[in-house]
Amino acid sequence: MIIILKSDATPQEQEQLITQIESAGLQAHLSEGTFRTILGIIGDESLVDADQLRAAPGVADVVPVLPPYKLASRDAHPQSSIVDVAGVKFGGGHLAFIAGPCAVEEPERMASIAKSVKAAGAHILRGGAYKPRTSPYSYQGQGLEGLKLLRAIGDEFGLPVVSEVTDPRNVDQLVEYVDMLQIGARNMQNFVLLTEVGQTKTPVLMKRGMSATLTDLLMCAEYVLSQGNPNVVLCERGIKSFDSSTRNLYDVAAVPAIQQLSHLPIIVDPSHATGRPELIPPCALAGIAAGADGVHIEVHDKPSEAMSDGPQALLPEQYAELAEQMRQLASLLNKQVPVTEGVS
Ligand code: PEP
Ligand code: MN
């Protein structure tokens, strides 16, 4: 951490700062320039509070040297992490596909969608049992019944399952039924929920909040990691923009940018990022080209009857064609994509 002193800081203010730093068990290194004096803090900077120092007399600014997300940062963990979801790996050269309807649907429809995404080569089945809707009048999901159904269909087709947890009181219930807990964009900064999820060992799919910076996203991952759950997969799903041409603004640059900052895997969700089926395949491929560790896509066999997000669903045949292209691109980039039965 570096403290930049005001040009009119007095010798007493300087002394006071050095005493404060040393009494925290750290060393202070004074460097006097022609116009400005700076104090470098040597040691574990978490032992001092940057905001308190910023408010101290004689201080112009305080610049932390390390990122505030210590556990999520690549500095702390130079090697890319691999997150294993019931045998399906994300990160460190492994790429996996998540597919399924937005909401858990009725049993026959779930079975038909699961069968088709499995045949297309998807590795994990998705479906929301608890839907965080912008409107309280929109479909809210089947709750526990939906979770049971998702689990049963996943087991029937040999697919691990992911579903969103919206309420800290439901974490124990979801952990019983799913292989991966999704934290939705609307809940990314629900710190009580993050703390609760961090106390499990279940892998977490953490979606970027719609107006979250990359630092915000990594600080939320830090909440989960700091509770002892190391299994976090980040997800770029688009951010708010002034342009309504797409549902959100797909920030594909977030993928390599996150990979510079953090060792955690990051996947892309071009379904929620674009909201437009015709844009999903090129944006999914762009995500893989940018280095994504996985791709999350909503698929439905009757979008006009979907309980939620029908307009952005890919049809099973469109998904199958895209999955083939994704595998080809991944292989060109030397990424490992597990081959499932039915895919040559
Ligand atoms: C979803 O995955 O269906 C969903 C609600 O996603 P997001 O939180 O990214 O909007
Ligand atoms: Mn959705």
Extended beta strands in the chain, E state: 2-5, 27-32, 37-42, 59-63, 83-85, 88-90, 96-100, 124-126, 161-164, 180-183, 204-207, 232-236, 266-268, 294-298
What is the torsional sign of CA 142, 145, 151, 157?
Answer: negative
Write the single-letter amino acid at 28.
Answer: A
CA distance 180 to 220: 17
Cβ-contact 62, 3 below 8 angstroms: yes
What is the DSSP secondary-structure string of 16-66? HHHHHHHHTT-EEEEEE-SS-EEEEEES-GGGS-HHHHHTSTTEEEEE-SS
* Cα of 239 from ligand 2 centre, angstroms: 15
Q: Which ligand is nearest to the CA of 208?
A: 1
Q: Which ligand is nearest to the CA of 130?
A: 1
* Pocket residues: Cβ below 6 A from ligand 1: 102, 128, 184-186, 207, 237, 272
User: What atom in ligand 1 is closest to the CA of residue 238?
Assistant: 9
Q: In whole angstroms, what separates CA 2 from the centre of its chain?
A: 30
* Cα of 331 from ligand 1 centre, angstroms: 28
List the structure tokens of 303. 């979008």
pLDDT of residue 325: 98
* Cα of 285 from ligand 2 centre, angstroms: 20
Q: Which ligand is nearest to the CA of 247?
A: 1
* Cα of 19 from ligand 2 centre, angstroms: 54
pLDDT of residue 45: 84
Q: Which ligand is nearest to the CA of 312?
A: 2
* Cα of 147 from ligand 1 centre, angstroms: 16
pLDDT of residue 342: 67
Nearest to 222 by CA among 255, 253, 184, 261: 261
Nearest to 38 by CA among 1, 70, 67: 1
- What is the best residue among 237, 240, 248, 312 to mutate for testing ligand 1's pocket, by most ligand atoms within 8 Å of CB? 237
Q: Is the pTM of this model over 0.75?
A: yes
Question: Nearest C-alpha to atom 3 of ligand 1 is from which residue?
Answer: 102
What is the DSSP secondary-structure string of 297-341? EEB-S-GGG-SS-GGGPBPHHHHHHHHHHHHHHHHHTT-B-PPPT
List the structure tokens of 296. 């999350």
> Residue 237 — φ and ψ, nearest 5°?
-130, 20
Task: Using 50 as the pLDDT threshold, list the residues of the chain that sit under it.
Answer: none
User: What atom in ligand 1 is closest to the CA of residue 186?
Assistant: 8
First to last CA, the chain: 54
pLDDT of residue 200: 98
pLDDT of residue 344: 64
* Cα of 297 from ligand 1 centre, angstroms: 11
Q: What is the tens place of the pLDDT at every residue in 27-60?
A: 999 999 888 899 999 988 888 999 999 999 999 9
- What is the best residue among 124, 164, 189 to mutate for testing ligand 1's pocket, by most ligand atoms within 8 Å of CB? 164
**Which residues have C-beta under 5 Å from ligand 2, the single-atom ion?**
102, 309
